[in-house]
Amino acid sequence: MINYDKLKEEHESLSLQLSSAELLKDRDKYTQLAKRFSQLEKIIKLFELKEAACKEKEHLKKILFDQEESDEMKELAQQELNGLDEKIASLEEEIEDKVFTQNQPDFDIIIEIRSAAGGEEAALFAATLYKMYCKYAEANKWKVEVLSSSPTEIGGFKEVVFSLKGKSAYNHLKFESGVHRVQRVPVTESGGRIHTSTVTVAVLIEPKEVELKINPEDLKIDTFRSSGAGGQHVNVTDSAVRMTHIPSGIIVSCQDERSQIKNREKALRVIKAKIMQQRKQEEMDKMTENRRTQVGTGERSEKIRTYNFPERRVTDHRINLTIYRLEDIIEGNLDYLVKELIKEERRKSYEAQGLI
Tell me which of 197-206, 304-313, 316-325 is least confident.
Answer: 197-206
Q: What confidence category does residue 288 fall into, taking pLDDT thresholds of 50, 70 and 90?
A: very low
Exposed e or buried b per residue across 288-299, where buried means at least 16 C-beta atoms within 10 angstroms of its C-beta: eeeeeebbbebe
**Does the pLDDT value for residue 282 go beyond 80?**
no
Nearest to 207 by CA among 138, 122, 278, 130: 278
- Cα 131 vs. chain centroid, distance in angstroms? 16
**Does the pLDDT value for residue 305 go beyond 80?**
yes
52-77 mean pLDDT: 84
Each residue of 145-154: pLDDT tens digit? 888 888 888 8
Partners of 224 in the β-ladder: 240
Dist CA 147 CA 130 (whole Å): 13
Kindly provide the residue ranges of all beta strands, DSSP E only, lying in the chain, ordered along the sequence.
109-115, 143-151, 157-165, 178-184, 195-205, 219-224, 240-245, 250-254, 303-308, 313-316, 321-323
204-218 mean pLDDT: 77
**H or E segment at 51?**
helix 27-64
Report the DSSP pairing between strands 109-115 and 195-205. antiparallel
Dist CA 96 CA 50 (whole Å): 12
Among 116-120, 286-290, 295-299, the range with the most confident prediction by mean pLDDT is 116-120
Q: What percent of the chain lies above the pLDDT cut of 70?
A: 85
Contact present, 204 and 272 (Cβ < 8 Å): no
Nearest to 267 by CA among 256, 280, 278: 256
pLDDT value, residue 290: 45
Q: What confidence category does residue 293 fall into, taking pLDDT thresholds of 50, 70 and 90?
A: very low
Report the SS3 class of residue 163.
strand
Each residue of 153-205: pLDDT tens digit? 888 999 899 999 988 899 899 999 999 999 998 876 666 788 899 999 999 88
pTM for the predicted model, two decimal places: 0.65
